[in-house]
């Protein structure tokens, strides 16, 4: 199991059988409100309000002999305050990444493992390579009753319109570099196209310069199909595609041509799918509550021939030099001495404004 609850502006669901469960689960009714979730992850994705004072994004409180309080506030300058108060345990943490320039959306993850007496908070946004990561000592387990109520729509809680979604998993969910291609995405190999799900460590794939490069590792993760992980359809024949493919908004494509050289003085640039939404080439895809993405880790930060276009493989930067970030990542458990050093991205990465200028130039 993994994701068991989601709350957005339109959707509210809590199901201990999992969000992908399509049957009418009776497990929720069989679980006492006082039963504890001893490990798990809460993920909050929110836009930052334009305000010069702290603003509540989420607030829920239950009084009584064993009170519970959970709130999330935005603070001026691009930071968040998370407060979790249960009985005699209080977590009060301020996280700020204002050094990263203009920030529109933040993603905060709180992971706890009560038996291991360990946890962490991670604050991420799309233009920052590594999360702001803070260890949490001896986090308490959380009551199922409080979590169920937190994810139930109603006047007992406050949720700001700026909150994109928040979700709950019964597992420790990784942060950092994430996969971004659907498992059925066709990837070029020396023997022809193969579905991403069928490619294994040690297989070779064809990169942008035509080389056959070995796959160091394949990764996969299921995520909420909301906000920054909601799937997008990239349509043929744009970007050289032979067929439509579905990707995460973070998937970067290697684009080249006369417009790229004229506008940026480079032979090729990397552009995130999220920055290409708005025209005919990239549109929101239909999805359920969750979506599973996969990706390939290569020795270098190469783009791979994918259904005719060039899609960047998993970029991990210098993750091997950050033990705490590695331990919280999808590559946790791997020997860091065997991880590749990707350094900076192999090509210039366009930010939103420049990406839109390029998209308009290519559409003209």
pLDDT of residue 76: 86
Same domain, 197 and 287: yes
Same domain, 101 and 195: no
pLDDT of residue 26: 45
Same domain, 305 and 219: yes
Rounded to the nearest integer, the mean pLDDT of the chain is: 92
pLDDT of residue 240: 94
Q: With CA atoms as reference, report the closest residue to 165 among 249, 228, 104.
A: 228
Query: Stretch 260-266: mean pLDDT, rounded?
Result: 91
Q: Number of folded domains in the chain?
A: 2
Same domain, 157 and 229: no
For the domain that residue 332 is a member of, what is the CATH number?
2.170.16.10
For the domain that residue 78 is a member of, what is the CATH number?
2.60.120
Confidence bin at 349 (pLDDT 50/70/90): very high
What are the tens digits of pLDDT across the range 64-78? 878 999 999 999 888
Residue 40, domain member (yes or no): yes
Same domain, 160 and 38: yes
pLDDT of residue 51: 79
Residue 180, domain member (yes or no): no
pLDDT of residue 23: 57
- Select the more confidently predicted residue: 161 or 344: 161
Residue 181, domain member (yes or no): no
Same domain, 127 and 254: no
Winning range, highest mean pLDDT, from 30-34, 204-208, 332-336, 346-350 = 204-208
What residues make up the domain containing 31? 3-169
Residue 105, domain member (yes or no): yes
Same domain, 132 and 204: no
pLDDT of residue 277: 92
Same domain, 162 and 288: no
Confidence bin at 293 (pLDDT 50/70/90): very high
What are the tens digits of pLDDT across the range 90-148? 999 999 876 555 668 899 999 999 999 999 999 998 878 889 999 999 999 999 999 99
How much is the pTM?
A: 0.93
Same domain, 164 and 195: no
pLDDT of residue 306: 98
If DSSP codes are grouped into helix, strand and coil, which group holds residue 300?
coil
Same domain, 149 and 46: yes
């Amino acid at each position: 199991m993994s994701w068991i609850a989601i709350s957005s502006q339109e959707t509210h669901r809590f199901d201990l059988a999992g969000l992908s469960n399509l049957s009418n689960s009776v497990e929720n009714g069989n679980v006492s409100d006082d039963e504890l979730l001893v490990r798990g992850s809460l993920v909050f994705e929110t836009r930052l309000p334009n305000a010069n004072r702290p603003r509540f994004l989420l607030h829920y409180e239950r009084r009584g002999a064993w009170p519970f309080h959970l709130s999330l506030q935005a603070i001026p300058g691009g930071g968040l305050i998370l407060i979790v108060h249960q009985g005699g345990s209080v977590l009060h943490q301020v996280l700020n990444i204002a050094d990263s320039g203009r920030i529109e959306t933040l993603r905060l993850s709180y992971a706890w493992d009560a038996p291991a007496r360990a946890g962490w908070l991670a604050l991420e946004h799309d233009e920052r390579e590594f999360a702001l990561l803070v260890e949490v000592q001896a986090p308490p387990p959380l009551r199922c009753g409080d979590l169920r109520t937190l994810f139930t729509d109603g006047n007992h809680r406050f949720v700001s319109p700026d909150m994109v979604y928040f979700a709950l998993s019964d597992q420790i969910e990784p942060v950092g570099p994430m996969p971004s291609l659907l498992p059925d995405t066709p990837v070029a190999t020396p023997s022809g196209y193969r579905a991403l799900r069928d490619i294994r460590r040690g297989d070779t794939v064809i990169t942008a310069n035509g080389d056959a490069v070995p796959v160091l590792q394949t990764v996969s993760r299921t995520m909420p199909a909301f906000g920054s992980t909601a799937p997008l359809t990239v349509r043929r024949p744009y970007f050289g595609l032979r067929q439509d493919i579905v990707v995460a908004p973070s998937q970067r494509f290697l684009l080249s041509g006369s417009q790229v050289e004229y506008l940026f003085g480079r032979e090729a640039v990397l552009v995130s799918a999220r920055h290409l939404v708005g025209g005919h080439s990239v549109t929101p895809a239909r999805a359920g509550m969750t979506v599973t993405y996969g990706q390939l880790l290569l020795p270098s930060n190469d783009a791979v021939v994918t259904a005719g276009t060039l899609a960047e493989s998993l970029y991990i930067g210098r993750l091997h030099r950050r033990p705490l970030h590695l331990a919280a990542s999808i590559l946790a458990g791997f020997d860091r001495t065997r991880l590749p050093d990707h350094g900076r991205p192999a090509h210039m990465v366009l930010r939103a404004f420049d990406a839109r200028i390029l998209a308009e130039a290519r559409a003209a």
